[in-house]
Structure 1
Amino acid sequence: MTSTNWVDLSRDPETGIESLRAHFEGHAYDPHWHDTYAIGLTEQGVQRFHLGRTRHESTPGKVILLEPGDVHDGHGPTPEGFTYRLLYIDPQWLHQRLGGLFEQRPDHYRMAFQDAMSSDVRLAHAIGTAFDVMHHGDFRITRQAALDTLLERLTCHVQWRRRPRPSPAMPLLAAKTREFLHAHIADDIGMDDVGRALGCDRFRITRAFKAAFGMSPHAYLVQLRLVGARRLLARGETPAEVAAATGFADQSHLGRWFRRAYAMTPAYYRNRCSKLPD
C-alpha cells in the first residue's frame, strides 16, 4: 500500500459488523468476494468496479450494494483516487433483522439486492449515519437506532429470491470442483489433484469453473482461505496460527496475500477486530 492509500477498519463486538473507510489511487484490489453483505457509499472521486461482466462507476453520494459471493474488483480511474465507506454485515444477522420487517417471508427464500448501485439519498444518509456511530463506538442505543433506520430504508432495495438449487446453468463439473476446494481449504493441493479426484482433465475443469464463477479455481481457493483467515483473526487467533489453519505456507505467505486483497496486514486486522495487541 502506498503512502497515499489508507484503510481504517473497526468491528462492532455486539453485531460483528465491520466498518471500513478507505482511500485508493489507481488500482485498489483484484477480483475478490466476501462472505458478507457489503453496504456502503462513495465519498469522493470515482470508484470504478466490475461486478461480473458489468462495469460500474460510483461517484460521491452513490450507494453500493453487494451480496455475499459477488466477485468484484476496484479501481480509481481519476488522478485524485476515491474514498469510500462500507459496512460488512453477516448474512444471518441481516436476514434475521431485515426479515422481521416483512410480514410474509418464506424460509426457503434469501435476501438479495435489486441493483448493485443506487442514487437513493435517504439510503445514503442512513448508511453514513450508521457508519459513523458503528465505526466510532457510540452508545449502544444510538447504534441500534441507526441500524434500525438503515434496515428500514433497505427494504426499498431488496427482494427475496429462492435459495439457489442445482441448475443446468452451473455445470456439475464446476459444482464438484467447488466442493473439492471447500473440503481441502487447508491442504497444499494442485489442479492435478482436482483432476484425479474428479476424473477429468484439469484444463476442462478450469474452463468450466471460470464460466460458472468468474474466476479460476486457484483464485477461488485463495479467496476461500482469506475469508477463513478473516474469521479466525477476528476471533483473536494470531497470524501464525491462522496461516497454519487456512493453508498458507507461513505467516509471511498469509501476509502477502492478505495485504494484496485487503490493503492491510493480518496483524492490523486482528487488532482492529479483537482489540488484542499485535
Structure 2
Amino acid sequence: MAMANQGGDWIQRAPPGGKLERIEAFFAGHGYAPHRHDTYAIGKTLAGVQSFRYRGGQCNSVPGGTMVLHPDEVHDGEAGTADGFQYRMLYVEPALIQQVLGGKPLPFIQGGLCADPRLGAATAALLASLDGALDPLQEDDALFDLARALSAAAGAPPRRHTVDYLAAERARGFIHGALERSVTLDQLERESGRDRWSLSRDFRLLFGTSPYRYLTMRRLDLVRALLLQGLSLAEAALRAGFSDQSHMTRHFGKTYGMSPARWLAMRASAAPRTR
C-alpha cells in the first residue's frame, strides 16, 4: 500500500485496479477542511472519535458503527479527543449502486451514521484488508451486498422479482469449468444471458450463496482432492486457481476452521492402519 506521512498523520491506499478506492488513515487532530465527493464515502472508525460536520449537524463516529456520506454533501473531519482517530473508508460511484438497484432513488442515510448490522457487515467485507486488490468477482459480489444493504438501511421497501433458473444454472456450470482461471461477473453475464445484477441476486436465491463464494468453495474442494493425491500446498493452490499458497490458506481457514496442513495431518492419522 502507498503511504503518505506528515507529522503524526498518515494515509494508506489499497492497490488500484478495481472499481473502488479504499483507504485507511490516522489523524492526530485536524483532519480535513470542508469538502465534498461525487461518490458515496462509506467507512468505519477503527479507533478514537472521528468528528465531522455534516448537513448542519455534528457527528461523532466511534468503533462499531458505519459512516455513510451521501454524494455531493459537504463535510469535514477532526479528532474528537486528544488520542486522534483512525478509520477506513471506501468511495463508491453512484452509478455502481444504480446498476444493482435498477433505477431506484439513491439510498440516503439520515445523519451520516448508521447502526444497521446489514450495512455494517457489507462495509466490513470490503474493508477487511487493504493489502491487495480485490478479486473482480469478489468485488462485484461485495458491491451487490453493499447496495442492497444501503437500500434496506435507508428504509426502501422490498420488491418482488422473477428468478431465471436456467441462466443461473448456466453460470454455475461455467464456474465449474473455470476453477483455474479468473472469473468475472462480466463473463457470467455473457455465459448466462442474464444481466449481472439479476444473475447475482438469482444465484443467491437458488444456490444459497454468491457466485464468488461458490467459486471459492469449489476451488477448496479441488484443493482437498489434490492434497490427498500428494500435491504440495503451493502446487494445489495454483492448480485450483488461487493466486498463491497464502491466499488459499486464508480461505481454507475461514471455511474449515483449521489450516490445510492440519486438515491433511488429521486425515492421515484417521486412515485405517494395516497390521
Q: Please, what TM-score do these two structures have when normalized by structure 2?
A: 0.50
The higher radius of gyration belongs to 2
